Structure 1
Amino acid sequence: MNSVTINLKSIAFISLLTMSGLSYATQDCEKPNNSQQVFECSKVASTIANHVLNKAYKDLISRIREQYLPAPKLGDEYIEKIKKSQRTWITLRDSDCEIEVFIIEPGTQAYETTKNHCAARLTDARRSFLDSTSQH
């Protein structure tokens, strides 16, 4: 990854935090001092990961539509497979995170923090996959 990409991602991350009313987290999440900050940061990480994933998904659909202009039916078939895959992946992600938090008491801050971190981690991996799908 080059520095321009990293800087653009940093700008987008900070912009999203500010737009979401979560700007306090940019400083606190770098070095959280207590469990409440860790919990709040886990929510921020999950929210941002979902936002970035949604953008990657929309970008992928746009790339496919553009690439398959000469064969729109084939493009539509490809998009339907991606939509099905995405729905299946969401179920898998949620199930995997349930496994990760299984031994933690539901409803506790530790449970929610762990689940948020799991979702953010898996969502970021999925975003990478979508970003690499159907590249020129």
Structure 2
Amino acid sequence: MKEYIKPAQMGVKTVMLGGLLFASSISSAALNCQKVTNNLHSMGCIQQQFYLSAKALELKQYILESSITSAYSADRKLAMALLSATREAQTAWLHYRDKQCEVSVFEIEEGSPAYETSKQACMIGLNQQRIEQLEVLAHNYE
């Protein structure tokens, strides 16, 4: 099970700053995906985009947890119950995302470059949708 830093240990601004610094360090080492030259380059770009979307998703989950911790600071028991529920929901959503994308690429030969890039593209799209959902949820607890 993945360990989370307790949201109470850091403020949302600190997390957001850390996320921005992380994203800028990634983009400095990033592939130039504006001009994809071949299939290998395309696979590298989609892997890079998936990695960045997964990190953005983790950051939004952390911001949500931080918002919940702040909103329920007067009642630790309620905060812990809601944090537990959001973590369970996120774990279930990740399982859904993975299975949904397996279904979407079912007819493509497993292990082929087309399979891998199509599956990751699916996951990127679903990650973006989930990021938007987590933003709305976090906003509710501000």
Q: Normalising by structure 1, report the TM-score.
A: 0.81
CA apart distance, 1:67: 0.7
**Residue ranges of structure 2 left out of the alignment (5+ in a row):** 1-18
In the aligned structure 1, how far is the partner of 2:53 from the partner of 2:90?
15
The answer to whether residue 73 in structure 2 is matched with residue 63 in structure 1 is: no
- Number of the residue aligned with 1:130: 134
In the aligned structure 2, how far is the partner of 1:24 from the partner of 1:60?
28
- Number of the residue aligned with 1:49: 53
**Residue ranges of structure 1 left out of the alignment (5+ in a row):** 1-8
One-letter code aligned to 2:34: E
One-letter code aligned to 1:47: Y
CA apart distance, 1:14: 3.7
In the aligned structure 2, how far is the partner of 1:16 from the partner of 1:78?
32
- Number of the residue aligned with 2:27: 17
Runs (4+) of structure 1 exceeding 6 A deviation are none
Q: How does 1:31-110 map to 2 (within 5 A)?
A: 31-110=35-114
- Number of the residue aligned with 2:16: none
In the aligned structure 1, how far is the partner of 2:60 from the partner of 2:47?
20
- Number of the residue aligned with 2:15: none
CA apart distance, 1:16: 2.1
In the aligned structure 2, how far is the partner of 1:11 from the partner of 1:70?
32
| Gap change, CA 1:66 and 1:10, over 3 Å in 2 | closer
**Matched residue pairs, number?**
122
In the aligned structure 1, how far is the partner of 2:43 from the partner of 2:87?
31
Percent of matched pairs sharing the same residue: 26
One-letter code aligned to 1:16: I
CA contact (8 A) 2:30 2:48 kept: no
